[in-house]
Amino acid sequence: MEIAGRITADATVKTVSGDKEVVNFSIAINDSYKPKGSSEYKDVVTYIKCAYWLSAKRAQVLKKGAVVQVIGRIGMDVYNNMDGQAVGSLTFHTNDFKVLTYAKKADGATAAPAAQDAAQEQNSAAPEDDLPF
pTM of the model: 0.70
Domains identified in the chain and CATH numbers: 2-34+41-127 (2.40.50.140)
C-alpha to C-alpha distance for 35 and 119, rounded to whole angstroms:
49
Indicate the burial class of 23 (C-beta count within 10 angstroms; 0-12, 13-18, 19 or more).
buried
- Give Cβ neighbours of residue 89 (< 8 Å, ≥ 6 apart): 49, 76, 77
User: Which residues are registered as beta bridge partners of 94?
Assistant: 52, 72
Q: Please report, rounded to a whole number, the percentage of residues in the chain having pLDDT higher than 70.
A: 79
The confidence band for 104, taking pLDDT boundaries of 50, 70 and 90, is: confident
pLDDT confidence of residue 106: 62
Residues in the chain: 133
pLDDT confidence of residue 17: 84
Give CA angle at 12 (7, 13), nearest 5°. Answer: 140
- In this predicted structure, the answer to whether residue 121 has a pLDDT above a threshold of 70 is no
Under DSSP, is residue 58 helix (H, G, I), strand (E, B) or coil? Answer: helix
